A and B are shown apart, each in its own frame.
Chain A
Amino acid sequence: DTAVSQTPKYLVTQMGNDKSIKCEQNLGHDTMYWYKQDSKKFLKIMFSYNNKELIINETVPNRFSPKSPDKAHLNLHINSLELGDSAVYFCASSNHRGRGTEAFFGQGTRLTVV
């Protein structure tokens, strides 16, 4: 069983469209994250949710809206897609306040905006 699963794995779409990426974890973790990895492999956190509550919201455009219907799911909706949104998006989960607790990552969603 996949611990953290994201769908879709690949997403190609036109500028201006709205798209969603889904993430589910079956590890019983209470915290989930979205990270963006750019073409140079740099990883930057976008959002963090703990028990469905938003706890980290880095400087991300308002076009990005995370939604956590329950502890096991954290979806990412993106409005009015732009060329610069092209990247690989990773979902991750961990236990909050767990010192030394590792984060488990999904396989990533490669988003290409054309």
Chain B
Amino acid sequence: GDSVTQMEGPVTLSEEAFLTINCTYTATGYPSLFWYVQYPGEGLQLLLKATKADDKGSNKGFEATYRKETTSFHLEKGSVQVSDSAVYFCALFPNFGNEKLTFGTGTRLTIIP
């Protein structure tokens, strides 16, 4: 079945550091890929998405590129801020089969000033 593997957390970085959160997936065909963010006490919000190979999703300084050859969708940001502290989820939606969002385990990110 479909699955998403995310980098284990928690991750703690200093403000303005470079961020990478790794995400790889297993799915048949070409799923759509997403990064969601969950701020403390809130629901999930879509951060960015990509629907086909080599697409790059970007939002709020975050980027992720859909790499079919490595089945990856790593999240990056060049300079993190304290306000980026949250839990980040990688997810996929298959292009056929059981149509549901499958999430990774989440990565808790803490940015210290």
Chain A residues in the interface with B (C-beta under 8 A): 4, 33, 40-45, 48, 55-56, 90, 92, 96-97, 99-108
A-B residue pairs, 4 tightest by C-beta: A100-B51, A105-B43, A105-B44, A41-B106
B32 at the interface (CB under 8 A from A): yes
Set of chain A residues within 8 Å of B108, measured between Cβ atoms: 41
Of the A-B pairs whose beta carbons lie under 8 Å apart in the complex, a sample of 9, sorted by A's number, is A33-B100, A43-B103, A45-B102, A56-B98, A100-B51, A102-B34, A104-B46, A105-B43, A105-B45
B32–A90 touching, CB < 8 Å: no
Contacts beyond the supplied A42-B103, A103-B101: 20 A-B pairs with Cβ under 8 Å: A41-B38, A41-B87, A41-B106, A41-B108, A42-B105, A42-B106, A43-B89, A44-B103, A45-B100, A45-B102, A48-B99, A55-B99, A56-B98, A96-B99, A99-B51, A99-B95, A100-B51, A104-B46, A106-B43, A108-B42
| Interface SS of chain B | strand
State the interface size on chain B (CB cutoff 8 A).
Answer: 24
Bound CA span A56–B1, Å: 15
Chain B residues in the interface with A (C-beta under 8 A): 32, 34, 36, 38, 42-46, 49, 51, 87, 89, 93, 95, 98-103, 105-106, 108
Given A42-B105, A42-B106, does the pair A48, B100 have CB atoms closer than 8 Å?
Answer: yes
Set of chain B residues within 8 Å of A55, measured between Cβ atoms: 99
A107–B51 touching, CB < 8 Å: no
A90–B100 touching, CB < 8 Å: no
Bound CA span A34–B43, Å: 13
Q: In the complex, what residue of chain A is closest to B94 when comparing beta carbons?
A: A99
A90–B46 touching, CB < 8 Å: no
Q: Which of B44, B49, B95, B100 contacts A56 (CB 8 A)?
A: B100
Q: In the complex, what residue of chain B is closest to A96 when comparing beta carbons?
A: B99
Q: Which of B36, B42, B101, B103 has the most CB of A within 10 A?
A: B101
